[in-house]
């Protein structure tokens, strides 16, 4: 393990700590703005590394950078018949006892004069803003990092300029075999036979202008087998080449796991360059990634099955599957230890951190406790109930009692612990790797 690998892990973890700190600030600022008493602001979990008290809030950093929290008083409302400042007896029944104990803990820090500073008494829209502030901060941070990367370094763009050429035609099933190379019996590719050279820029296909590699490859694949006139620019001079395409089974451009049958095959690979983009591209990129992240959250149970198989059956990790903090840190180490130029390393590291922020924001919006989305859902439901009461001229309903779903909360928390433990194990025994 080289020192650059360790540096990459440390850099990623520091970036993660900053992201967590900003997430909690997203909760802290509106909570204080709306008058909720916040007793703790902590980044990380486990034993406290450093802390300092300012006013009524203790600020600190803990040893394990796997999360963070702010502690607000009165997260759960008392029972309807209870005085929030009096000690209550515990009801019978395991689940009811669990709920009542949780209420006691939530109101332990409520001191005389704090009755209007508890979280549960705040208007529903303030609760929503407070709990949505954390994920919103992650989205903003992801957007800012992506904007910096895209508008400063650019994004990889494939150009219709020949970077490499395949010498011979190897059936796709044969090409998957380790060590399979060209033999004398393998025919030359259409590109080699037609005299295509590295550096040729493809400008037309069968008389139709071509301006991008995506357009060129779409036309090549869609043409199938047969003769075609390929227009190229070589050393600044336009030329036409007579090419006879062949039909091949090739991986799908968007999903390499899918194989397309009998598509047109030329035998060239494009040139990849970095091009800076404008603000509109950043917005579209963020919208696209957010949609993919949302879809990934929906497919999370299925993805975790893949993680299980990778951890215990040795199957290949899905590059688009979930990865834990340890796995992401390892990827950060591989980025730093790679032989890529420093600019490319910075691009990859920032993109990794931005993507992790986006994933954190989306995960926290799942409408289940103990995630932020569970509290947001409770606040929205309270707003709907109060609006309905006003319209129907009914008495104002009580605050939504999220304590009633605590059994589900504990079950979800246990499931999350199992999931994070599985990710940790998979990241150690069968980690995702660059490339």
- Tokens 């903090």 belong to 325
pTM across the whole model? 0.81
Distance, CA of 393 to CA of 396 (rounded, Å): 9
Token pair of 273 as six digits: 């360059």
Residues with catalytic roles: 24
Q: According to the model, what pLDDT value does residue 103 have?
A: 66
Strands 208-209 and 201-205 come out as antiparallel
pLDDT(328) > 90: no
Domain with CATH 2.30.42.10 in the chain: 157-275
Contacts of 270 (CB under 8 A, 6+ apart): 158, 159, 160, 161, 162, 163, 213, 216, 217
Mean pLDDT of 60-72: 88
Contact in structure between 134 and 372 (CB atoms under 8 Å): yes
Q: According to the model, what pLDDT value does residue 259 have?
A: 85
26 burial type by CB count under 10 A (0-12 exposed, 13-18 middle, 19+ buried) = buried
350 band by pLDDT with thresholds 50, 70 and 90? very high
Q: According to the model, what pLDDT value does residue 106 have?
A: 64
pLDDT(72) > 80: yes
Mean pLDDT of 174-192: 85
Q: According to the model, what pLDDT value does residue 92 have?
A: 47
The highest-level CATH class for domain 157-275 is mainly beta
pLDDT in tens, 383-394: 999 899 989 988
Closest listed residue to residue 350, CA positions, set 35, 77, 358: 358
94 band by pLDDT with thresholds 50, 70 and 90? low
Distance, CA of 166 to CA of 146 (rounded, Å): 35
Count of all residues that appear for the chain in the document: 435
Q: According to the model, what pLDDT value does residue 415 have?
A: 86
Chain mean position to CA 386: 35
65 band by pLDDT with thresholds 50, 70 and 90? confident
The widest CA-to-CA distance across the chain, in whole angstroms, is: 90
Contact in structure between 37 and 117 (CB atoms under 8 Å): yes
Mean pLDDT of 8-24: 91
104 band by pLDDT with thresholds 50, 70 and 90? low
Distance, CA of 296 to CA of 431 (rounded, Å): 19
pLDDT in tens, 270-280: 999 888 999 99
pLDDT in tens, 205-262: 988 999 999 999 999 999 989 999 999 999 999 999 999 999 988 888 877 778 888 8
Q: According to the model, what pLDDT value does residue 136 have?
A: 96
Q: According to the model, what pLDDT value does residue 24 have?
A: 94
% of the chain with per-residue pLDDT over 70? 93
**Residue 43 main-chain phi, psi, to 5 deg:** -110, 120
Contact in structure between 206 and 184 (CB atoms under 8 Å): no
């Amino acid at each position: 393990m080289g020192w650059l690998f360790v540096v990459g892990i440390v850099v990623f973890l520091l970036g993660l700590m900053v992201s967590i700190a900003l997430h909690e600030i997203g909760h802290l600022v509106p909570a204080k703005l709306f008058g909720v008493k916040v007793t703790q602001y902590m980044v990380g979990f486990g034993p406290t590394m450093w802390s300092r008290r300012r006013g009524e809030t203790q600020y600190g950093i803990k040893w394990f950078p796997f999360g963070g929290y702010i502690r607000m008083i009165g997260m759960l409302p008392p029972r309807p018949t209870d005085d929030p400042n009096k000690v209550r007896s515990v009801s019978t029944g395991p689940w009811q006892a669990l709920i009542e104990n949780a209420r006691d803990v939530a109101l332990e820090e409520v001191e005389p004069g704090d009755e209007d500073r508890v979280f549960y008494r705040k208007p529903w829209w303030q609760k929503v803003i407070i709990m949505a502030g954390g994920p919103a901060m992650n989205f903003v941070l992801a957007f800012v990092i992506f904007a910096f990367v895209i508008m400063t370094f650019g994004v990889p763009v494939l150009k219709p300029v020949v970077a490499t050429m395949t010498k011979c035609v190897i059936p796709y099933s044969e090409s998957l075999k380790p060590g399979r190379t060209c033999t004398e019996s393998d025919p030359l590719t259409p590109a080699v036979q037609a005299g295509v050279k590295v550096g040729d820029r493809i400008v037309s296909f069968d008389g139709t202008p071509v301006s991008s590699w995506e357009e060129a490859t779409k036309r090549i694949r869609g043409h199938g087998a047969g003769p075609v006139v390929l227009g190229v620019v070589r050393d600044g001079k336009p030329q036409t080449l007579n090419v006879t395409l062949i039909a091949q089974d090739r991986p799908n451009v968007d999903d390499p796991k899918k194989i397309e049958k009998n598509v047109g095959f030329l035998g060239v690979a494009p040139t990849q360059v970095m091009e800076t983009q404008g603000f509109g591209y950043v917005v579209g990129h963020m919208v696209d990634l957010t949609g993919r992240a949302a879809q990934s959250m929906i497919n999370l149970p299925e993805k975790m099955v893949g993680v299980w198989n990778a951890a215990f059956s040795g199957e290949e990790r899905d590059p688009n599957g979930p990865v834990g903090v340890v796995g992401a840190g390892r990827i950060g180490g591989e980025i730093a230890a790679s032989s890529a130029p420093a600019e490319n390393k910075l691009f990859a590291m920032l993109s990794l951190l931005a993507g992790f922020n986006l994933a954190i924001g989306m995960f926290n919006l799942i409408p289940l406790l103990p995630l932020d989305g569970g509290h947001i859902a409770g606040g929205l439901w309270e707003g709907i109930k109060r609006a309905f009461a006003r319209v129907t001229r009914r008495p104002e309903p009580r605050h939504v009692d999220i304590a009633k779903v605590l059994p589900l909360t504990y079950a979800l928390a246990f499931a999350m612990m199992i999931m994070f433990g599985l990710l940790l194990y998979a990241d150690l025994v069968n980690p995702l790797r660059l490339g």
